[in-house]
Amino acid sequence: MDGLQNDAAAVLQTVFDRQKDAFSFAHAEDLNARRHKLERIENLIRTRQDDIVKAIEKDYGTRSSAETLSAEIAMTLSASKDLRKHLKHWALPRRVKNGSPIPGKAIIQPRPKGVVGVISPWNYPFQLAMIPLITAIAAGNHVMLKPSEFTPHTSKLFEDFFINDFDTAEIAVVTGGHDVGEAFSALPFDHLFYTGSTKVGRLVAIAAAKNLTPVTLELGGKSPCVILPDADIAEAAKTIAFGKFYNAGQTCVAPDYLLVPKDQAEKIGKAIIETTTDFYEDLATEPDYTSIINEDHYDRLNKLVSQCVSEGVALLRTPSDEQALKAKRKIAPTVLLNPAGTSAIMEDEIFGPLLPILEYESVEEAIAFINKRDHPLALYVYGGGDGCDTILQSTTSGGACVNGTILHLMIENLPFGGVGHSGYGAYHGERGFREFSHDRAVFNLPKWVPKSLITPPYGKLFYTLLKKQMR
């Protein structure tokens, strides 16, 4: 293993050194060159759209083409067009107020960081690699991308995607397993962007800290969904089922568990399962219902269900042929009624089509339940009046959506990121441009400013200004 790690480290270091040597602050790409590069990437995406869909389909076994087109391709193209549209404005130096007694101009100057590393996950293997990558490019950086080893066909597509149209000194793709990922994290990047599990995110942060590399961590966690007493259950069931079972629950912001009023769990659970029967005619053959990514995750999810059954938890499931589902590595949408708060399914992020529903006596109890746990990446609340505001004001999360789920990701002007155990840093739109830029502080003193204002011997004028500042 040490030999493999050493080999991986040597190869990666060569690629990194080439990018580092090619990057120059003095000759950083102007905005037109960056926009042109983004346009080239957009054209590549459109040209190879079918290849992208097929590669992700091969990696999953069954992956809804509608979900790939919307969540992977359309979102990436939308993000790139938004970057091009606003880049000139975002990249302008910003004059800020000079609050000191010393005359001069105070300016914030966005600058590229240099060489950026991006480690992307398997659940949305194209979008979650490409949006950080194009945002880093818009900010003027060179980029090295390490896609997930769990999606080898998509990773191979990335290699082919860039190798013929871009110099590896500007955009480079490196593939491989754990040894490559470990060596990648240890490179002295000017910024490192990671999307994935909290467990691995900690290791990435530790590796980056050795180089004092700034890191953006896009992690996950157990995102709660609170149903208030005045919520419209029938309408809520539709968007909860959509957000939970989109990509078969393999979404970092999918509702991880529901908190519902006392004695409402079964009613709400049935409404959600009934909705799924409208969504999917036959789960096994339905091309819009996605498979679990691999056998390990499939077994892990089934083990969670078995543990709940052994604990006496009642299940509600979309009717299906279990053997036919197994052959396709699919798991039927499943609602689990009132598991214990200490149950295994309530410990880690589920990342699959399993939805626990827990009951609360009061809204205060629901808030306390959320706040006793790690801060989530997303929070959802259904209801009207002041109840939703109460939940939002009394909790924290990376993002939130009222009377809906997961759609806040599509709003380019909203930052996307976590808080605490669900990550730190954010991207999308302008927030992403800022994340991959260094805001350099520049203060221009006019030549006429008398040096006696700031230099010894400190005279009457110095103390007069000092007293004014200290009032």
Give catalytic residue positions: 218, 252
Local structure of 111: helix, strand or coil:
strand
Task: Give the span between the Cα atoms of 316 and 354, in whole angstroms.
Answer: 10
Cβ distance 419 to 375 under 8 Å?
yes
User: To the nearest 5 percent, what fractions of the chain are helix, strand and coil?
Assistant: 45, 15, 35
What are φ and ψ of residue 402, in 5° steps?
-105, 125
Cβ distance 83 to 138 under 8 Å?
yes
Cβ distance 378 to 406 under 8 Å?
yes
Task: Give the span between the Cα atoms of 470 and 448, in whole angstroms.
Answer: 25
Task: Give the span between the Cα atoms of 11 and 74, in whole angstroms.
Answer: 34
* 435 half-sphere exposure, CB direction, 13 A CA radius: 29
What single DSSP character describes residue 221?
Answer: -
Pairing of strands 399-402, 378-382: parallel
Q: Which helix (H) or strand (E) holds 178?
A: helix 178-185
Task: Give the span between the Cα atoms of 170 and 154, in whole angstroms.
Answer: 20
Task: Give the span between the Cα atoms of 61 and 113, in whole angstroms.
Answer: 39
Local structure of 277: helix, strand or coil:
helix
Q: How far is CA 449 from CA 136, 256, 334, 461, in A?
A: 39, 60, 72, 12
- Reading the block at residue 351, the tokens are 């990342």
Cβ distance 87 to 412 under 8 Å?
no
